[in-house]
A = this chain, B = another copy of it.
């Protein structure tokens, strides 16, 4: 019955969201995206079954997520970050695909164990393993710009992400939709929040490791705002792939709400978390930590991370279908059954 109530609805209306945070494109966003596509081809082509699958991935423009989330970073760091996000998005895409990593939790764990074994070591354990070579290349480029403490967090963040991916695979294979807080806990991992924060530090050239407790509240609302907005924009794709770990499915299937009611409630939550983030960030800026230039730089980085992440999700054909071309609109009716959709003025 809740299954049917979702299936019967062909779409939803996404209202204009407040977008209280700034966003900007890195001035070299276009070049970074192109170079990053070249990096994916060089390092990760073999992880795609065919050239067509690789092109399908590149058309999603995941290479512009980096330049959108660290718009003020040094060019090389922005490039490293762009490549990193492509790397984890290749893995994430494979997790959602039942014909590859998504087909078996045990198989995925085996691959993830090898990824982690290769990551941070001098040489890949198997030179033919594309995830290993790509991870190594990123490690070599990024870790020299991190402190010892950040390097430890770098590996741990990849592990959290892969654990989140494993839980998502299992939930899907067992056809199990979790409750809201359980879902959110997994999503914060599988969305990669740990490395997203670390990449924000890397882009801003700061080390926030010792301040993580003080940053708990800004991080909490930042993470939830990003995750909920992502689940809204990605619902067309996640639904088509039968992914269980999305708050849209939680509200419709577990809590029994209609799809539009769910969307409206999640939009309220996006705004609430955005405002709570801003309030928490203001308290930090006006408190004793607010006089530290590194803290100010990092918090500004979080602002642009949230704003840029949202911009990317409007933009990417990953969510609205292969072949979509964004025209800048940010509100309208979303058709869940169309192969390619966009924000329409009418349902």
Contacts and interface: CB of A to CB of B under 8 A. Distances in A.
A59 interface: yes
A100 interface: no
A328 B38 contact: yes
A64 to B, nearest CB: 7
A270 B110 CA distance: 53
Nearest to A41: B327
A346 to B, nearest CB: 13
Interface in A98-127: none
A149 B310 CA distance: 46
A58 interface: yes
Contacts of A38: 327-329
Contact of A29 (B29, B40, B329, B340): B29
A55 interface: yes
B25 A325 contact: no
Contacts of A40: 327
A141 B37 CA distance: 36
Given A323-B59, A325-B58, A315 B34 contact: yes
Interface string A10-47: 00000000000000010111110011011011000000
A228 to B, nearest CB: 24
A264 to B, nearest CB: 26
Contacts of A325: 37, 55, 58-59
A88 interface: no
Given A37-B326, A37-B327, A55-B325, A28 B31 contact: no
Contact of A328 (B37, B329, B340): B37
A28 to B, nearest CB: 7
A324 B325 CA distance: 14
A233 to B, nearest CB: 16
A115 B73 CA distance: 46
A35 B340 CA distance: 20
A325 B53 CA distance: 12
Contacts of A34: 315, 326-328
A52 B340 CA distance: 9
Which 4 pairs from chain A and chain B are nearest by CB?
Answer: A58-B325, A27-B27, A38-B327, A38-B328
Given A27-B28, A55-B325, A59-B323, 9 more contacts: A25-B28, A30-B67, A34-B328, A35-B328, A38-B329, A40-B327, A41-B327, A55-B340, A58-B325
